[in-house]
Amino acid sequence: MLSIVHRNIGWIEVICGSMFSGKSEELIRRLRRAIIARQKVAIFKPKIDTRFSDDHIVSHSELKIPSKVVESAWDILEQSLEAQVVGIDEAQFFNNDLVLVCQKLANMGKRVIVAGLDQDYRGEPFDPIPQMLAVAEYITKTHAICVICGNPANYTQRKTPNKERVVVGAADIYEARCRNCFEPPEESKKEIKLSAGNRGKAQETSK
Ligand SMILES: [Zn+2]
């Protein structure tokens, strides 16, 4: 009886963290277990992520699992009607419609597992992951190891001066850093100082 009830309830799981923190590895691990249990699994990644393989999700440690490449979040909805479990990798490359789509899938009774970067190269929240965290039932934050000092790393350091938000690459362009060793680009440092100043003012006026 419990199993019947459980099958009718969907939910959202989010796996997030910096690059090299094992997000794809963890996603693949969860999806493999579902496949072993003979559940119907549909796996997706955005068209922009062409690293390593076109039709597989591949982790940096070269684990891989077959996946479909889609252009928009709505393609996921269309292509996973039969699935019991829906896996989505590199979720930060979708727009905010992904949140709506995942909500719909979970409401249909599906288990939805989303993996993605939660901060961009400036250390700022990377949409739509913050919104996904708000509506998710389960959240796993993965950590890499800081290449400078060996502490747990929560930031992705870009090693090139490129200012575009999306620059696809791996260890050639990025490395994991902890809070102390992370060096945000010059323009973000100014923004952080500015917003800290505003917060002080707001507290003063509320007194
Ligand atoms: Zn460090």
Mean pLDDT of successive 10-residue segments in the chain (207 residues)? 62 97 96 96 86 68 83 96 97 97 97 97 96 98 98 95 82 93 81 54 42
Backbone angles phi, psi at 52, to 5 degrees: 65, -50
Query: Rounded to the nearest whole angstrom, what is the distance from the C-alpha of residue 145 to the centroid of ligand 1?
Result: 8
Q: How many domains is the chain partitioned into structurally?
A: 1
pLDDT of residue 156: 96
CA of 85 to the centre of ligand 1 (A): 37
Return phi, psi of residue 122, to 5°: -90, -5
Residue 1 is predicted with a pLDDT of 42
C-alpha of residue 151 to centroid of ligand 1, in Å: 5
Q: Cα separations (Å) of 151 from 20, 143, 166, 178? A: 14, 10, 26, 6
Which of 120, 95, 112 minimizes the C-alpha distance to 19? 120
* Dist. CA 84–CA 185, nearest whole Å: 42
- CA 182–ligand 1 middle distance (angstroms): 7
Catalytic residue among 25, 26, 90, 175: 90
Read off the tokens for 39.
Answer: 């559940």
What is the C-alpha to C-alpha distance for residues 187 and 158, in angstroms, rounded to an integer?
A: 14
pLDDT at 193: 56
Report which residue type is found at 191.
E
Q: How far is the CA of 155 from the centre of ligand 1 (A)?
A: 10
Query: Using CA atoms, how far apart are residues 182 and 122, in angstroms rounded to an integer?
Result: 9
Q: How far is the CA of 107 from the centre of ligand 1 (A)?
A: 41
Q: What is the pLDDT of residues 19-57, one digit of tens each?
A: 999 999 999 999 999 999 999 999 999 998 655 556 777
- CATH number for the domain spanning 116: value is 3.40.50.300
pLDDT at residue number 33: 96
- Tell me: cis bond preceding 128? Omega within 30 of 0 counts: yes
Q: What pTM does this model have?
A: 0.84
Structural domain that includes position 180? 2-206
What pLDDT is recorded for position 54? 67
Q: What is the pLDDT of residue 53?
A: 58
The predicted pLDDT at position 195 comes to: 57
Active site residue 90: yes
